[in-house]
Structure 1
Amino acid sequence: MNHRLLSLSLCAALALALAPAAQAEKADRNKPMNIEADALRHDELQQTTVFTGHVVMTKGSIVLRGARLEVHQDADGYQSGIVTADAGKRAFFRQKRDTAPGGPDEFVEGEAERIEYDGRADVVRLIRRGELRRYRGATLSDELTGARIVYSNVTDVFTVEGGAPSQAAGPGGRVRAVIAPRETSPAPAAPVAAPAPALRPSSELGGSGK
């Protein structure tokens, strides 16, 4: 099956499954980037900083973890990062989603050999052995795997592409998805019939005599 058709079909299914439920934290792109690592190298001319060794980045509700993180800031102040993992491992991404008041917290998290965060477009890309999961509270709701997964924080649209068997998480380079049904409001209870009037007992057979 054509990978483009797979991507478009899955996009439509996810739009129905995810859009009414929640949206990503829109304020994350405006939050400062906080990073911990074993070492860093900064290039002032290129406005690029490279962090290495057990890297952990937080930006609002966004969390990125990996072996190496390259951070770039453009002329307009937008920050972008590329996280890569050690050989044979995968980097990690997590973000909270906006939910209705009183509802359970929702999170999107993913893993891939390379994760790209584009601050200007507010897009996350999971590249090579990508896996994306959505949680409602502590319950796993949806799960996607593929060679390349793109998640837009602005539009809440997911696209997933297959690839060669050596690149994709699923066998044969196919896209895989487990999508939970949308939660619906419970149907109103059927009205309860009024009880029949009780019969009054009588001690006389055939009524009163003349």
Structure 2
Amino acid sequence: MQPLPFRATAVPLMLALLLAAAVPGVRAERADRNLPLNFAADSARVDDLRQVTVLSGNVEISKGSIVIRADQVEVRQSPDGYQFAVATGGPGKRASFRQKREGSEEFLEGEAERLEYDARADTVKLVNQATLRRFRGSTLADEVAGSTISFDNTTEVFQVLGGPASPVASGRVRGVLTPRDAKSSSATGSGKP
């Protein structure tokens, strides 16, 4: 297999970095930024002229503690340098991501039929059958589920919407938020979930 040119690997790299950085109140593992991006897929299509990269079939992207799995990942770059990415799970499957939080033994995991990232707005959306979990070590601490989960990294606000595409049978939003003890709140910063 012949290596792809730097420009071709830079676009998926931005997807991994941007998806990981967009989770509110969560600081990405800083060491992840300096580590190489690895990806595997059944196929890759790079269109340098249109600034579009498409990875298809059993896609796995990893960069340090960041892992993204999807059936397909498409990344577009605007003329002004912003990236827009969509990861899809394929028929009957969900795309997923996992990342370690900075300075703690906490991990975030999210999955949905579609993960969308908008670098210009600095937002991430988990769309259809969306679930987000926070683990403290190997213990599940927090979990929210709904039709759509939206993150705004600038304001550190997230919103969970219900609807027919919710993984909850009633279509409502569901969640469990575990209180932090004083020790873990001070170790991770703000004490936000």
* Contact 1:170 1:176 (C-alpha < 8 Å) held by counterparts: yes
Q: 1:45 aligns with which of 26, 45, 49?
A: 49
**Structure 1 runs not aligned, ≥5 long:** 1-18, 186-210
Counterpart in 2 of 1:11?
none
Counterpart in 2 of 1:94?
98
Aligned pairs for 1:36-75 (under 5 A) are 36-59=40-63, 61-75=65-79
* Alignment of 1:25 onto 2:52: no
Structure-2-length-normalised TM-score: 0.71
Flag the 1:112–1:151 CA change in 2: closer, same or farther, 3 A.
same
CA separation in 2, counterparts of 1:61 and 1:156? 21
Structure-1-length-normalised TM-score: 0.66
Counterpart in 1 of 2:107?
107
| Larger CA deviation: 150-159 vs 23-32 | 23-32
Larger radius of gyration: 1
CA separation in 1, counterparts of 2:35 and 2:121? 15
Cα offsets for 1:14-58 (capped at 9, x unmatched) = xxxxx8xx6321856897754321111122221001111110123
* Alignment of 1:177 onto 2:180: no
* Contact 1:55 1:69 (C-alpha < 8 Å) held by counterparts: yes
Shift in Å at residue 98 of structure 1? 2.1
> Tell me, what secondary structure is at the counterpart of 2:163?
coil
**Structure 2 runs not aligned, ≥5 long:** 1-23, 184-193
Counterpart in 2 of 1:168?
166
Question: Structure 1 vs Structure 2: percent identity of aligned residues?
Answer: 50
| Count of matched residue positions in the alignment of Structure 1 and Structure 2 | 159
CA separation in 2, counterparts of 1:118 and 1:60? 22
Flag the 1:147–1:158 CA change in 2: closer, same or farther, 3 A.
same
* Contact 2:29 2:100 (C-alpha < 8 Å) held by counterparts: no
* Contact 1:25 1:97 (C-alpha < 8 Å) held by counterparts: yes
CA separation in 2, counterparts of 1:61 and 1:127? 23
